[in-house]
Amino acid sequence: MACWPATARCSRSGRARSSASGQRPPAPPPQVCYLPPDAGSWPAPEAKGDAMSTTVEQALGALAATRAELLAWVARRSEAESERVVYGTWSVKNVLAHLAAWETWVVGSMPARLETGSTPEPMRERVIHEDAFNAAEVAARAHLSLAQQLAELAEVRELLLAYLASLDPATMAKPQPWAEWQGTLPEYLLRSLRDHERQHLDELRALLG
């Protein structure tokens, strides 16, 4: 998914877009908008695995490490701080909502992708229209408290881990398990979840310390 709301997000060229008011928001480092390999053109040009094979244990360890860093950073913020808009129209809590929505999409699309080798059209349509997807998913979670939003993040991660535990080693090691992704499933987890979460964490740190 795109990294920030449409009123303050990076373009695919890495330059910050202007906001609706015409003011250009300060672009946090790294100033290149990370686009997970499911949005935009199909197949996505960056949809390929890492140069070296990644095991599921390595991928899950990396996911856990990044999530631990994110939670430690959020723990230093009060409820009021988490509600304050910090970039475009999004607060810290909105960023967490975005992360939860994206991981929910990944978990929800994975069974059909692995079974059929392609992304179901309804799921595909949602991420092709990424700005609308982001706005709708964040708005749907606006009523949640910080604790509730963190609980959703934990819940969807548990769903992901439970599903991955049901897969056999051959499925994990299979290259190009669906048409839009050329790498293995563990490599996809790194690109679509770990890297996405890492970018948002780095941007929040740059903005708020």
Give the model confidence (pLDDT) of 132-186 as tens digits. Answer: 999 999 999 999 999 999 999 999 999 999 999 999 999 999 999 999 999 999 9
In one-letter notation, the amino acid at residue 131 is: D
Task: Take residue 93 and report the two structure tokens written for it.
Answer: 């809590």
Is cis: bond before 43, omega within 30 of 0?
yes
Backbone angles phi, psi at 170, to 5 degrees: -65, -40
Per-residue pLDDT averaged across 189-209, rounded?
95
Handedness of CA 6, 17, 36, 80 (dihedral sign): negative
| pLDDT at site 127 | 82
| pLDDT at site 14 | 30
In one-letter notation, the amino acid at residue 142 is: A
Per residue in 86-119, pLDDT tens? 988 999 999 999 999 999 999 999 999 999 999 9
Per residue in 2-40, pLDDT tens? 455 544 443 322 323 333 344 434 443 333 333 455 543
| pLDDT at site 24 | 39
Model confidence at 126, pLDDT cuts 50, 70, 90, reads confident
Residues facing 16 on adjacent strands: 10
| pLDDT at site 87 | 80
Residues 6+ apart with CB under 8 A from 57: none
Q: What three-state secondary structure class fits 134?
A: helix
Max CA-CA distance within the chain? 52
Per residue in 66-84, pLDDT tens? 999 999 999 999 999 999 9
In angstroms, rounded to a whole number, what is the distance separating the alpha carbons of residues 23 and 143? 28
Given the candidates 1.20.120.450, 3.40.1110.10, 3.30.1490.190, 3.40.50.920, the CATH classification of the domain at 56-208 is 1.20.120.450
Residues 6+ apart with CB under 8 A from 119: 38, 109, 112, 113, 178, 179, 180
Q: Cα–chain-centroid distance for residue 55?
A: 20
Give residue limits of the domains in the chain: 56-208
| pLDDT at site 9 | 45
Backbone angles phi, psi at 87, to 5 degrees: -160, 120
Is cis: bond before 30, omega within 30 of 0?
yes
